[in-house]
């Protein structure tokens, strides 16, 4: 894996792999069929991009959205990698360039949309192109019951068999059921080498709030993060437009995005978001997997997401660079009703609808959690060892009460009405409210009639909501949303278990939300200057700003303030190509003065021990170039010659003479060997 480690540093500019990456990279490099489930922002792309460079031949990457592919290709090219994509968004010249590189055998990565696999010409082209690896990004799209299903993903397994090459599949969102589908459809049921890495994103702050003037809650949240890139997800297209207007009127740079827009208008928003700092996009989930912008600093949900998997993937758009990012999710009774309705009106069978209601219950459980949010979220994905301290409940634990008696009363009402009714009717029974529906069915004669008059309607709604969050009850699609008990509820009904509930979660949001900053006040002006320099480079090249450097790299520059190219090369995210292209420009900003221009041979050694050896060799040469006396004929070594000595480090005069030649060896060999002996 030595070559892979060198590629990590030289091409991608990282000193070490992120947790879990090295094992995956090794498996893919070795040609093993691989399935990797990694958290969003955990570095999935590198796990197939680096092996593509390590292995001979061409790697084909199947990716779901054009914007995502084009951004990744731009980033690879900026790092000196030969990559291309074939999409409907290509110009004729772009496609011709890709085909020429394929014919010449120069391309290392080719990105394709899954829709192109339906074309016979594409299949034929790939058979001739020396494909040695298939990488599948967002592999959960193969799941027919998933929230991002793409029918053409079903063709990938056939392509793998046709080309007889290994396949590496990656996703951040896959529960056990989805993983089983991926194995069946992409790997023909043969178990690949599987990596299930932690789902935790510790840099994300998790927070939920019950809706209480929701527009103001979103505006306050955005105001505390003014000038930072963010996404607001909404449940409807109309809401994206109205909320975008409100944010614009409040002084934010804002645009909206939804599936009903003209494709060209959507592309404009995607381009603006990738290139502009501080833009807020208010969107439906149509603004999804194509978001590869690493420096999104916050994500807010103005409405409850569809499921816990959807929630996890959507908050995962934030903080992909590893720097701190905030999330906020608002929820209310109308959201839950809307999501239940979406499930019930879908085309799935009853069994699938019940499973989908269970998934929504899991999300409600997260919203109504009694303790740490992270514990609830990661527990859903099967994780048990969890450390948080970065959620609203860890910061301010909620007030709770023993809800066993109230829950038992509610379960009894469900049982005595044969599980044929929804929460509204059950609450009327519990509170002793006489309605025509209750009278006609004789439910005012039930033992449970009026036993819950100590709570008002709103409080009972909160109890039922939390019962769903604990997955004690679910709607029955065959009975038009009537509630039925799950097996988890029976011990409570039988007085064999107790349950703790939160007090009414409809409370006013905090006033004056705390403003989060990326760096200290002292470093903030430099970070702004570095962002301006980044934007200048980006606009000159017509690429998104983060293609130059992401926020996390700029933050490290601002905090460490490298004084030389050697120091700059040690900043995470600075590879050899970016050091060459941008190092001097950013150093000029950091140091406030013109930085010395290094010879290319010396620049290649920046950041390593060989660089300092080169400098000492140069000092020795300058001291001896006119001999010990200072009056001999001047002799010098070329920069490339000094670099060769610094890298190979000959240890005796014979080896040194082979590099320098007799004349230069007579002048410099002893001094150079002394430098090397001290290194």
Q: Terminal CA-to-CA distance of the chain, rounded, Å?
A: 27
* Per-residue pLDDT at 131 exceeds 70: yes
Closest-CA residue to 587 (of 579, 62, 133):
579
Q: What was the pLDDT predicted at 9?
A: 87
- Regarding whether 136 and 209 lie in a shared domain, the answer is no
- Range among 314-318, 609-613, 659-663 rated most confident: 314-318
**Any idea what the CATH number is for the domain that residue 411 is in?**
1.10.10.10
Contact status, residue 88 vs residue 164, Cβ threshold 8 Å: no
Give a yes or no: residue 517 inside a domain.
Answer: no
Q: What was the pLDDT predicted at 1?
A: 52
Tell me the C-alpha distance between 273 and 280, whole Å.
Answer: 8
* pLDDT tens readout for residues 378-424: 888 888 888 898 999 999 999 999 999 999 999 999 999 999 888 88
Q: At 340, is the pLDDT very low, low, confident or very high (cuts 50, 70, 90)?
A: confident
**Any idea what the CATH number is for the domain that residue 354 is in?**
3.40.50.300
- Regarding whether 73 and 50 lie in a shared domain, the answer is yes
- Regarding whether 556 and 444 lie in a shared domain, the answer is no
In the listed set 597, 622, 652, which residue is the last one of a domain according to the structure?
Answer: 597
Give a yes or no: residue 604 inside a domain.
Answer: no
Give a yes or no: residue 511 inside a domain.
Answer: no
Give a yes or no: residue 474 inside a domain.
Answer: yes
Q: Which residues have CB under 8 Å from 116's CB, separation 6+? A: 86, 87, 122
Tell me the C-alpha distance between 190 and 70, whole Å.
Answer: 32
Q: What was the pLDDT predicted at 673?
A: 87
- Regarding whether 220 and 76 lie in a shared domain, the answer is no
Q: What was the pLDDT predicted at 515?
A: 52
In the listed set 171, 196, 221, which residue is the last one of a domain according to the structure?
Answer: 196
% of the chain with per-residue pLDDT over 90: 42
Q: What was the pLDDT predicted at 508?
A: 40
* pLDDT tens readout for residues 176-235: 778 888 999 999 889 999 998 878 889 999 999 989 899 999 999 999 999 999 999 999
* pLDDT tens readout for residues 321-330: 888 999 999 9
Q: What was the pLDDT predicted at 507?
A: 41
Q: What was the pLDDT predicted at 290?
A: 57
- Regarding whether 234 and 381 lie in a shared domain, the answer is yes
- Regarding whether 275 and 416 lie in a shared domain, the answer is no
Torsions phi, psi for 72 (to 5 deg): -65, -40
Q: What was the pLDDT predicted at 147?
A: 59
- Regarding whether 146 and 20 lie in a shared domain, the answer is yes
* Per-residue pLDDT at 248 exceeds 60: yes
Q: At 593, is the pLDDT very low, low, confident or very high (cuts 50, 70, 90)?
A: low
- Regarding whether 221 and 155 lie in a shared domain, the answer is no
Would you give the distance in Å from CA 387 to the centre of its chain? 20
Residue 152 has what DSSP assignment? G
* pLDDT tens readout for residues 157-168: 989 999 999 999
Q: At 350, is the pLDDT very low, low, confident or very high (cuts 50, 70, 90)?
A: confident
Give a yes or no: residue 509 inside a domain.
Answer: no
Q: What is the mean pLDDT of residues 358-367?
A: 91
Give a yes or no: residue 490 inside a domain.
Answer: yes
Q: What was the pLDDT predicted at 276?
A: 87
Q: What was the pLDDT predicted at 509?
A: 39
Confidence (pTM)? 0.76
Give a yes or no: residue 513 inside a domain.
Answer: no
Q: At 612, is the pLDDT very low, low, confident or very high (cuts 50, 70, 90)?
A: confident
Where in the sequence is the domain holding 651, given as residue range(s)? 609-677
Give a yes or no: residue 575 inside a domain.
Answer: yes
- Regarding whether 192 and 263 lie in a shared domain, the answer is no
Q: How many domains are contained in the chain?
A: 5
- Regarding whether 262 and 177 lie in a shared domain, the answer is no
In the listed set 165, 196, 227, which residue is the last one of a domain according to the structure?
Answer: 196
- Regarding whether 72 and 211 lie in a shared domain, the answer is no
- Regarding whether 444 and 366 lie in a shared domain, the answer is no
């Amino acid at each position: 894996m030595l070559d892979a480690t060198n590629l990590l540093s030289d091409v991608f500019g990282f000193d070490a792999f992120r947790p879990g990456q090295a094992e995956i990279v090794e498996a893919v490099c070795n040609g093993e069929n691989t399935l990797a489930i990694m958290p969003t922002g955990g570095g999935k792309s590198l796990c197939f991009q680096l092996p593509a460079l390590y292995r001979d031949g061409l790697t084909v990457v199947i990716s779901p959205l054009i914007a995502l592919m084009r951004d990744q290709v731009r980033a690879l090219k900026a790092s000196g990698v030969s990559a291309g994509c074939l999409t409907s968004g290509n110009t004729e010249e772009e496609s011709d360039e890709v085909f020429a590189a394929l014919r010449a055998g120069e391309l290392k990565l080719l990105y394709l949309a899954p829709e192109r696999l339906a074309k016979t010409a594409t299949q034929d082209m790939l058979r001739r192109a020396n494909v040695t690896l298939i990488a599948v990004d967002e592999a959960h799209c193969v799941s027919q019951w998933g929230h991002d299903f793409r029918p053409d993903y079903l063709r990938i397994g056939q392509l793998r068999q046709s080309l007889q090459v290994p396949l590496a599949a990656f996703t951040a969102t896959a529960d056990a059921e989805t993983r089983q589908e991926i194995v069946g459809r992409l790997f023909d049921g043969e178990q690949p080498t599987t990596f299930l890495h932690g789902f935790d994103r510790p840099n994300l702050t998790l927070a939920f709030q019950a809706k209480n003037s929701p527009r103001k809650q979103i505006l306050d949240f955005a105001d505390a993060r003014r000038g930072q890139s963010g996404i607001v997800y909404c449940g409807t297209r109309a809401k994206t437009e109205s909320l975008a207007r409100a944010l614009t009127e409040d002084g934010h740079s804002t645009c909206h995005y939804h599936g009903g827009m003209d494709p060209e208008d959507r592309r404009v928003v995607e381009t603006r978001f990738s290139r502009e700092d501080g833009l807020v996009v208010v969107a439906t989930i149509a603004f999804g997997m194509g978001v590869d912008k690493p420096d999104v600093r916050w994500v807010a949900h103005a409405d409850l997401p569809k499921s816990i998997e959807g929630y996890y993937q959507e908050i995962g758009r934030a903080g992909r660079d590893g720097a701190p990012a905030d999330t906020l999710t608002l929820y209310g009774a109308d959201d839950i009703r809307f999501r239940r309705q979406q499930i019930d009106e879908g085309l799935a069978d009853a069994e699938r609808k019940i499973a989908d209601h269970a998934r929504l219950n899991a999300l409600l459980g997260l919203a109504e959690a009694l303790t740490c949010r992270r514990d609830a979220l990661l527990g859903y994905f099967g994780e048990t060892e969890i450390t948080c301290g970065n959620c609203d409940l860890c910061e301010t634990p909620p007030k709770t009460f023993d809800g066993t008696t109230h829950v038992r009363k509610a379960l009894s009402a469900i049982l005595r009405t044969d599980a044929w009714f929804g929460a509204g009717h059950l609450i009327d029974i519990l509170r002793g409210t006489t309605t025509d529906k209750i009278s006609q069915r004789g439910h005012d004669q039930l033992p449970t009639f009026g036993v819950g008059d100590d709570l008002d309607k709103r409080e009972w709604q909160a109890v039922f909501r939390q019962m769903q969050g604990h997955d004690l009850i679910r709607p029955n699609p065959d009975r038009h949303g009537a509630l039925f008990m799950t097996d988890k509820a029976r011990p409570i009904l039988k007085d064999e278990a107790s349950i703790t509930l939160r007090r009414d979660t409809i409370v006013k949001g905090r006033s004056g939300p705390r403003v989060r900053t990326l760096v200290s006040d002292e470093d903030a002006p430099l970070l702004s200057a570095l962002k301006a320099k980044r934007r200048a480079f980006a606009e000159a090249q017509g690429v998104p700003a983060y293609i130059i450097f992401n926020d996390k790299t700029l933050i490290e520059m601002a905090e460490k303030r490298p004084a030389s190219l050697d120091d700059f090369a040690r900043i995470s995210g600075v590879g050899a190509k970016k050091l060459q292209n941008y190092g001097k420009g950013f150093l000029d900003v950091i140091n406030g003065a013109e930085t010395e221009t290094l010879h290319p041979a010396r620049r290649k050694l920046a950041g390593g021990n060989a660089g300092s050896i080169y400098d000492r060799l140069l000092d020795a040469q300058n001291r001896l170039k006119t001999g010990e006396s200072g009056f001999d004929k001047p002799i010098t070594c070329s920069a490339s010659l000094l670099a060769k000595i610094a890298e190979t480090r000959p240890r005796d005069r014979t080896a040194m003479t082979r590099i320098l030649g007799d004349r230069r060896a007579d002048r410099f060999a002893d001094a150079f060997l002394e430098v090397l002996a001290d290194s």
